[in-house]
Amino acid sequence: MCDFMRRGFLVIGNRAKTKPFNLNDLPGAGRIDILCRCVSQALFLSHSIRRNAEIYLLLLGSPNPPKAIKFKGNEIRKTWPDERNIAGHINKALSFEVGEKWFKSEPGIFVAKKGLEKLLSELSENYEIYYMREDGLEIGSIVSRMENPLFVLGDHIGVKKEDEEIILNFAKNIVSVSKISLMAEQCITIANYELDRVQSQREREISK
């Protein structure tokens, strides 16, 4: 599979802790478990990693928000798809004092003290931004026209009104993967699935 369709995800963890937390209680750390599953579903395949994908987590919980963490599929090492492993990497990233510039906490994992607007402003230079919301356009109807999309979505709480306003300033469109209210990581899996279908279609056309 060639890598021409880059893809990204940004998940907002409204209450996700911004200091190291107890690995035995990820839900109690502001639902870090959700963010871990999002990383897992965004980057991992069976026995391999999506080298063309990256995921950004925006942690907005106490005591030191905002913190942004980036996982790059083509650079991570010793990262596995189980929640506890990914949580360990998040914990390590949160153990550093950082400023607004990305700091590499481990191969392929970066952390910075920056908020939604700064993050989206940076991401919009390399990605088409799509906001994922249930009442958006059905992803199947526009996925074939996407180029290097990055999907923004909320955790179990969703996206706060003021954050939504910021996202809509950057978003090319609002997309929906289902009329049913799915968990964040399920939305990511479905976006990858739809993008894979488009990519495979494009590859067939190129090879003709």
- Peptide bond preceding 63 in cis form (omega within 30 of 0): yes
Nearest Cα to 92, choosing from 11, 31, 21, 34? 21
Q: Does residue 204 touch its own copies according to CB under 8 A?
A: no
CA 153 to chain centre: 8
Q: Does residue 45 touch its own copies according to CB under 8 A?
A: yes
Task: Work out which of 22, 78, 84, 126 binds its own copies, going by CB under 8 A.
Answer: 84
Q: Does residue 189 touch its own copies according to CB under 8 A?
A: yes
C-alpha–C-alpha distance, residues 193 and 206, integer Å = 20
> How many residues lie near its own copies (CB under 8 A)?
37
Task: Work out which of 54, 83, 163, 164 binds its own copies, going by CB under 8 A.
Answer: 83
- Peptide bond preceding 66 in cis form (omega within 30 of 0): yes
Q: Measured from the CB of residue 48, what is the shortest distance to its own copies in angstroms?
A: 7
For 19, 20, 140, the CA distances from 90, given in Å and listed in that order, are: 9, 8, 32
Nearest Cα to 124, choosing from 5, 43, 8? 8
Q: Measured from the CB of residue 101, what is the shortest distance to its own copies in angstroms?
A: 32
Question: Which tokens hold the place of 6?
Answer: 């880059």
Q: Measured from the CB of residue 196, what is the shortest distance to its own copies in angstroms?
A: 6
Q: Does residue 41 touch its own copies according to CB under 8 A?
A: yes
Q: Does residue 26 touch its own copies according to CB under 8 A?
A: yes
Cβ closest to its own copies, residue 126 vs residue 178: 178
Could you list the residues that contact its own copies (CB under 8 A)?
1, 23-24, 26-27, 33, 37, 40-41, 44-48, 80-85, 156, 177-186, 189-190, 192-193, 196, 200
